[in-house]
Amino acid sequence: MSTESTPAVIVTFIRHGESTDNLLSIWAGWKDAPLSNHGMNQAKAVGQSLSKVPFAAIYASPLKRALWTGQAVQEAQPDPKPPLTVSPLLREQHFGVAEGHPWQWNQDPNLTLEEHFARDIWPVLHERHQKFPEGESLDDLFERAKKAIDELIMPHVWKAAREGKKGVHIAVASHGLCISELIPALLIKDESGIHPGDKYRGLQNTAWTRVTVDVKGLKEGEPLEFPDSDPPKLKVRVTDVNRHEHLDNVKRQKGGIGRAGYDPKQQDIRAFFGGAKVESGTAAPEEVEGRSESNARDEAEVDIN
């Protein structure tokens, strides 16, 4: 790729590895479950797959499943390693009092949402403004995502423009629903201002999606001068969606080890690969690598209005 066609900034959004809550049919937004052992292997695999991308900076949610994924990406980078910055703006959607409760697909048409909640029923919500008590709606999450883009990503764009640089790579380790709002929040920075809709949901664990941001008129080695009040126009494009080929050779450890919580203090490698047994008569469910029970609302087939 020529320097003329190289964008100013390339942002790689990475969903976290499998968490222990991903293996349960529960609402898990700010509930801080760790990666499973399998999830840590996924994180290491995506880190290795991106090891030749020279990230200038890595940002991560403070929730363990995304933070550990971001750290795995950082660890795979060559020295000197890029800084990793933790931001609460990158946390998953908050499900309020529904956190940790089982979700169900369908709502009872004879009950209001409030009556569902009163009966300890936490169904999938289909409208962007709807939320669980004390939680966030998708509209709320989008507002937070816009703030994250403004505070974490756009400074790199304007810095690159003012320094005449192109090809600045940034990594963001976050969560499925948050990423599905971060991407549109960045895309509306395009000079068209068009929102792409709810088309970036259903990401697999550690799958990555890439967005490029170019500054109109920017040439490599030629700094641009402009006031903050009148920045140059941008061209923002999605180039890769839900890339997960790095998972092709990631296999779940047998005997329930892969589904157990990852312990970063674990020193005995045997604990990861042997010892546990599956109960008699228990058949392992068929699994699609990178897919899990996860949050119902994170699924691409959920109709959101």
- Return the active site residues: 16, 92
**19 annotated as belonging to a binding site for a ligand:** yes
Rg (the chain; Cα; Å): 20
Per the annotation, does 180 bind a ligand? no
Distance CA 7, CA 214 (A): 4
Is 22 assigned a ligand-binding role in the annotation? Answer: yes
Is 217 assigned a ligand-binding role in the annotation? Answer: no
Instruction: Please check if 174 is assigned to a binding site.
Output: no
Q: Which tokens sit at 147?
A: 């703030």
65 is in an annotated binding site: yes
Residue 258 marked ligand-binding:
no
3 is annotated as contributing to ligand binding: no
- Is 21 flagged in the annotation as binding? yes
Binding-site annotation, residues: 15-22, 65
Binding-site annotation, residues for substrate: 15-22, 65
